[in-house]
């Protein structure tokens, strides 16, 4: 579906033919919340469709989760991403805190109407929690590689993560590679991309505060209150948040439809176009597929 | 059903429900799908002597595809036996030929039937086709004449004077022997970069005339093992998974065309590092370095083009051609004597030659009707030309991906339209100008932000008569399938009437809705 823009979108090209800088590095602004400033990345283009709000995962930053997906969505949509602010001095991050930050960002983004909320991984948990509390601010909800209750399998990994984080960061980055990416993706990289991937993972370990919070997630009781059209996206080869979690979300949310992407947990890197198009199409017409639909993959 | 023409008693005009012009990937794909659906009332008019289109015509040395074969093939006819990642021309031609025989399409084809004119007969509500192999009428016409089908010759002063062997890459003279000869190759595009390394092997002296350097990335090619081919055959889902992976990999390249810095940085580094790795620093490397934004022209894939210029018998000419003489080329730097001249100068993709042969009831050609370049609703239908569908027409090309995906999308669109016409029993279907204009305006809006209109190069993607991007689809391929690959009757005039609520209910009850 073509989205007609009501105002000219910020063009990718400067008048002199050069490009804009990479996105999700310099915040476009800040949202104030509980005495702190949350950096936001607002593409700023006005459209006649719902603004997309992206909630990042355990990588800790919008760029970490969405560097490939955000720009694709901005072709036709206004997109707002943000970086979750962590409490100082390694104090505990609570889900309530994360949800409060998201609420502030959604308030900013929803001046023109309810938003298309998209949460990835840990961000899906936060997004689902927000939607269960503030459904009128959410026109549609996309939960990508998310979960509702931390289980033994996740704790196994989380414990291992913690031990390696403290004792062996190099081994930790290998664990992350192994669990975040599908085998096919790792095997399929050429030499240069494989080197860069290893370097990128080693350079950006997940914030420990988010990983500790991940141990105790339980939003099951709130899922029944999510009264907005939802798309649950599960990744077929997800070893970090396996498919059964997405199956549960699909069952628990009444107005949910389900899509599987052939990818590892890092779907936004492995299949950025597929993820972006799926989220974009769904949020433009949330009821194109009735509740309960398992959306067929349109194979090439 | 045969009719005897009243003006020429000895000739008969054959009638078919559907006439398909061309038997390359598009024409064959549609023919196969028609037969599989039990629709046998169609003819295929092929101007050459064999099927295959592009893959029949391009027999120059080194001719191969630059899209991986498991993706560059019909999804409904997977081939587990592709010998390598990027198949060569003979293999692709053989694949198409076998498909045309196996699927029973060959008896539908009239070969050596060049379309001379295709004129709408409003009274009879059908098309009258005049070809070099006789006359035909058809209720529906589908042009599947390709978009890289008609060689484009460079407009260089004196070209016609050259008295030694000279031919376009797509009209390769098989009797030509390059051994020891002084050969000039004009053009460094997709054909040129495949030809040059081959000719360099035996040419006495090879001169490559380059107007604008292409970006080139490494070609990751290998042969498939017997085990792999057996796996693809025994478990077709493994080939489908590979096909999907290749497809989405190509989709992820599209953001490079939309000025997204992260994507561009990566591909640009890949290309420039490839050049640096293969050509030492110096004037040659400088001359091979493009001066425009990557993706503006087609990004090429080769491991042996750059190294060719390190050979003693190969020279790169960039000073510009002034004129051609009987046995030489004059450049801004001097005169170069040549024994043969190869024109790797591409094809007419904007002013599609087939459109000069399609006429509305007033005798106006489609080319004339396109007053600002190619324009078609859903990239398939043109106002004023009822019952006619164009494949590989306006905005159906790709800057990164397999055109077969587009072809299959267009096949589905056409099948949907034909099913709709069958179920409603209507005679004519035509898109009104306003609907077409609206569709095209949306295309132009998307095109405005692409590298093709902002990248500072001169390419065949743009119709330079009007400055419009009329050849490629300015969005993801998946969006093409969604918007132009699913037939919806809503905007059309059916038997001259617009689709109102009543008509729509009728078509739904007749089972035509998809």
C-alpha distances (whole Å) from A67 to each of A62, B238, B481 are 7, 30, 26
Q: Is the pLDDT of residue B10 over 70?
A: no
Buried b (16+ CB within 10 A) or exposed e, A24-62: beebeeebebeeeebbbbbbebebebbbbbbbbbbbbbb
DSSP symbols for A245-272 = HHHHHHHHSTTEEEEEESS-S-HHHHSH
Chain A hits for B260, CB-CB cut-off 8 Å, are: 12, 19, 23, 71-72
**CATH architecture for residues A29-148+220-284:** 3-Layer(aba) Sandwich (3.40)
Beta strands in B11-154 (DSSP E): 12-21, 42-45, 109-110, 115-121, 126-131, 134-143
Give percent of chain A above pLDDT 90.
88
Phi, psi for residue A53 in degrees, rounded to 5: -115, 125
Residue B9's pLDDT band (cuts 50, 70, 90): very low
- Per-residue model confidence (pLDDT) at position A36: 95
Question: Is any Cβ of chain B less than 8 angstroms from the Cβ of A111?
Answer: no
pLDDT at B1: 41
CA distances B358 to A57, B109, B143, B466, B503, Å, are 56, 20, 10, 21, 30
Q: Contact, B431 vs B383, CB < 8 A?
A: yes
Q: A1 contacts in B (CB within 8 Å)?
A: 482-483
**pLDDT band, very low/low/confident/very high, at B64 (cuts 50, 70, 90):** very high
3-state helix vs strand vs coil in chain B, percent to 5? 35, 20, 45
- Whole-number mean pLDDT of chain A? 93
Distance CA A240, CA A153 (A): 9
For the segment A184-188, the average pLDDT, to the nearest whole number, is: 95
> Which of A2, A71, A281 is nearest residue B442 as measured by Cβ atoms?
A2
Mutation target among B68, B77, B246, B255 for the A interface, most CBs of A within 10 A: B255
pLDDT at A46: 86
Q: Secondary structure of chain A: what % helix, strand, coil (to 5)?
A: 45, 15, 40
Report the C-alpha gap between B196 and B313 in whole angstroms: 12
What is the pLDDT at residue B505? 41
Share of chain A above pLDDT 70, in %: 95
- Given pLDDT bands bounded at 50, 70 and 90, which one contains residue B7? very low
Q: How confident is the model at residue A297 (pLDDT cuts 50, 70, 90)?
A: confident
Beta strand residue intervals within chain A, DSSP E: 29-33, 36-42, 52-55, 79-82, 115-120, 138-144, 230-235, 256-261
According to the model, what pLDDT value does residue A5 have? Answer: 35
Task: Look at residue A298 in the predicted model and tell me its pLDDT.
Answer: 81
At A112 the pLDDT is 80
pLDDT score of A17: 66
Coil/strand/helix, residue B394? coil
Average pLDDT over residues A56-63: 96
| A17 contacts B262? CB cut-off 8 A | no
Domain segments of chain A as ranges: 29-148+220-284
Mean pLDDT, range A53-68, rounded to an integer:
96
Whether residue A197 is predicted with pLDDT greater than 90 in this model: the reply is yes
Side-chain half-sphere exposure of A182, counting CA atoms within 13 A: 20
Please check the confidence at residue A7 and state whether its pLDDT lies above 70. Answer: no
Nearest to A211 by CA among A57, A9, A37, A3: A57
Q: Distance between CA atoms of B252 and B266, rounded to whole angstroms? A: 12
Within B293-451, strands assigned E span: 300-301, 314-317, 321-324, 328-331, 334-337, 340-343, 358-359, 388-390, 429-430
pLDDT tens track for B471-491: 999 999 999 999 999 999 999
**pLDDT confidence of residue B451:** 93
Q: Are A240 and A180 in contact (CB under 8 A)?
A: yes
Interface of B with A (CB under 8 A): 71, 75, 218, 220, 240-241, 243-248, 251-252, 254-255, 258-265, 270, 293, 402, 405, 442, 445-446, 448-449, 454-456, 475-476, 478-479, 481-483
Best CA proximity match to A165, nearest among A150, A155, A175:
A175
CA angle B84, B87, B91 (to 5 degrees): 110
- The mean pLDDT of B3-10, rounded to a whole number, is 41
Distance CA B466, CA B350 (A): 10
Q: Name the least confident of A9-18, A137-146, B416-425.
A: A9-18
* Interface residue of B237, B252, B399, B486 to substitute, partner A, most A CBs within 10 Å: B252
Compute chain A's Rg from CA coordinates: 18
Contact A1 B248 (CB under 8 A): no
Q: What are the pLDDT digits (tens) for B155-209?
A: 999 999 999 999 999 999 999 999 999 999 999 999 999 999 999 999 999 999 9
How many Cβ atoms are within 10 Å of B226's Cβ, its own excluded? 9
Please check the confidence at residue B6 and state whether its pLDDT lies above 70. no
Q: What is the pTM of this model?
A: 0.93
- The H-or-E segment that residue B463 falls in is strand B462-463
Domains and CATH numbers, chain B: 2-150+348-509 (3.50.50.60), 159-214+252-343 (3.50.50.60)
Mutation for testing the B interface, residue in A273, A282, A297 having most B CBs under 10 Å: A273
Q: Residue A272's closest chain B neighbor by CA?
A: B252
Residue A19 has what pLDDT?
Answer: 75
How high is the mean pLDDT of chain B?
A: 94
Residues of B whose CB is below 8 A from A79: none
Rounded to an integer, the average pLDDT of B288-296 is 95
Once rounded to an integer, what is the mean pLDDT over residues B366-379?
97
pLDDT at A2 over 80: no
Give percent of chain B with pLDDT exceeding 70. Answer: 95
A22 vs B137: CA distance, rounded Å: 57
pLDDT at B91 over 80: yes
Tell me: pLDDT of A105 over 60.
yes
Both tokens assigned to B349: 């993709």
Residue B43 has pLDDT above 80, yes or no: yes
The answer, yes or no, to whether residue B223 has pLDDT greater than 70, is yes
Give the pLDDT mean for A11-20. Answer: 69
Nearest chain A residue (CA) to B221? A190
Spatial separation of the C-alpha atoms in residues A286 and A294, rounded to whole Å: 14
């Amino acid at each position: 579906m073509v989205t007609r823009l009501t105002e000219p979108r910020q063009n990718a090209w400067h008048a002199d033919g050069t490009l804009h800088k990479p996105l999700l590095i310099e915040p476009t602004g800040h949202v104030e919340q509980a005495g702190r400033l949350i950096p936001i990345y607002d593409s700023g283009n006005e459209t006649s469709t719902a603004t997309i709000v992206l909630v990042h995962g355990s990588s800790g930053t919008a760029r970490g989760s969405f560097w490939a997906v955000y720009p694709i969505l901005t072709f036709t949509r206004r997109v707002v991403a943000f970086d979750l602010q962590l409490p100082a001095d390694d104090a505990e991050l609570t889900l309530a805190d994360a949800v409060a930050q998201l609420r502030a960002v959604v308030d900013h983004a929803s001046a023109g109407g309810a938003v298309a909320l998209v949460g990835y991984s840990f961000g899906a948990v936060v997004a689902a929690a927000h939607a269960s509390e503030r459904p009128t601010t959410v026109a549609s909800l996309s939960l990508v590689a998310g979960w509702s209750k931390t289980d033994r399998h996740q704790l196994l990994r989380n414990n291992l993560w913690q031990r390696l984080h403290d004792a062996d960061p190099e081994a930790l980055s290998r664990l992350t590679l192994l669990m975040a990416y599908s085998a096919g993706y790792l095997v399929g990289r050429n030499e240069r991309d494989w080197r860069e991937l290893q370097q990128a993972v080693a350079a950006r370990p997940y914030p420990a505060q988010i990983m500790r919070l991940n141990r105790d997630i339980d939003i099951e009781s709130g899922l029944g209150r999510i009264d907005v059209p939802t798309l649950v996206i599960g990744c077929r080869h997800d070893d970090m948040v396996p498919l059964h979690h997405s199956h549960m979300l699909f069952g628990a949310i009444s107005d949910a439809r389900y899509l599987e992407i052939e990818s590892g947990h890092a779907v936004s890197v492995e299949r950025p176009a597929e993820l972006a198009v799926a989220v974009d199409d769904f949020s433009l017409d949330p009821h194109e597929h009735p509740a309960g639909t398992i959306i067929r993959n349109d194979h090439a | 059903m045969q009719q005897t023409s009243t003006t020429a008693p000895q000739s008969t005009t054959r009638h078919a429900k559907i006439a398909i012009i061309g038997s390359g990937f598009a024409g064959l794909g549609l023919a196969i799908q028609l037969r599989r659906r039990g629709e046998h009332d169609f003819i295929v008019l092929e101007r050459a002597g064999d099927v295959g289109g592009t893959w029949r015509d391009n027999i120059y040395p080194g001719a191969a595809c630059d899209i991986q074969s498991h993706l560059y093939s019909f999804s409904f006819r997977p081939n587990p036996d592709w010998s390598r990642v990027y198949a060569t021309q003979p293999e692709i031609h053989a694949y198409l030929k076998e498909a045309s025989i196996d699927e029973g399409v060959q008896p539908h084809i009239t070969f050596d039937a060049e379309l001379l004119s295709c004129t709408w007969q409003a009274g009879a509500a059908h098309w009258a086709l005049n070809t070099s192999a006789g006359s035909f009428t058809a209720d529906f016409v589908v042009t599947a004449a390709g978009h890289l089908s008609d060689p484009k010759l460079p407009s260089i002063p004196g070209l016609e004077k050259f008295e030694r062997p000279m031919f376009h890459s797509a009209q390769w003279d098989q009797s030509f022997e390059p051994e020891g000869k002084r050969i000039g190759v004009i053009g460094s595009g997709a054909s040129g970069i495949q030809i040059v390394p081959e000719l360099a092997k035996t040419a006495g002296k090879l001169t490559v005339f380059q107007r604008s350097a292409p970006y080139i990335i490494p070609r990751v090619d290998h042969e498939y093992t017997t085990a792999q081919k057996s796996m693809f055959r025994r478990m077709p889902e493994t080939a489908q998974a590979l096909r999907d992976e290749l497809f989405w990999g190509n989709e992820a390249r599209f953001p490079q065309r939309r000025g997204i810095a992260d994507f561009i940085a990566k591909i640009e580094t890949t290309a420039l590092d490839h050049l640096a790795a293969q050509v030492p620093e110096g004037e040659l490397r400088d001359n091979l370095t493009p001066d425009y934004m990557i993706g503006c022209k087609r990004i090429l894939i080769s491991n042996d083009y750059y190294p060719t210029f390190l050979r003693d018998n190969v020279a790169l000419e960039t000073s510009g051609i002034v004129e051609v003489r009987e046995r030489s080329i004059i450049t801004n730097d001097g005169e170069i004597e040549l024994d043969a001249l190869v024109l790797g100068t591409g094809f007419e993709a904007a002013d599609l030659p087939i459109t000069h042969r399609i006429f509305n009831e007033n005798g106006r050609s489609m080319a004339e009707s396109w007053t600002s370049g190619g324009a078609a609703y859903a990239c398939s239908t043109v106002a004023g030309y009822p019952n006619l569908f164009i494949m590989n027409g306006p905005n159906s090309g790709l800057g990164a991906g397999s055109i077969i995906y587009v072809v299959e999308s267009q096949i589905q669109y056409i099948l949907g339209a034909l099913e709709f016409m069958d179920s409603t029993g209507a005679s004519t279907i035509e898109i009104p100008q306003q609907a077409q204009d609206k569709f095209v305006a949306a295309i132009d809006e998307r095109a405005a932000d692409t590298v093709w209109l902002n990248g500072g190069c001169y390419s065949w993607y743009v119709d330079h008569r009007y400055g419009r991007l009329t050849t490629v689809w300015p969005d993801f391929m998946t969006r093409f399938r969604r918007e132009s690959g699913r037939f919806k009757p809503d905007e059309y005039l059916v038997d001259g009437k617009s689709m109102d609520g009543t008509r729509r209910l009728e078509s739904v009850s007749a089972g035509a809705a998809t």
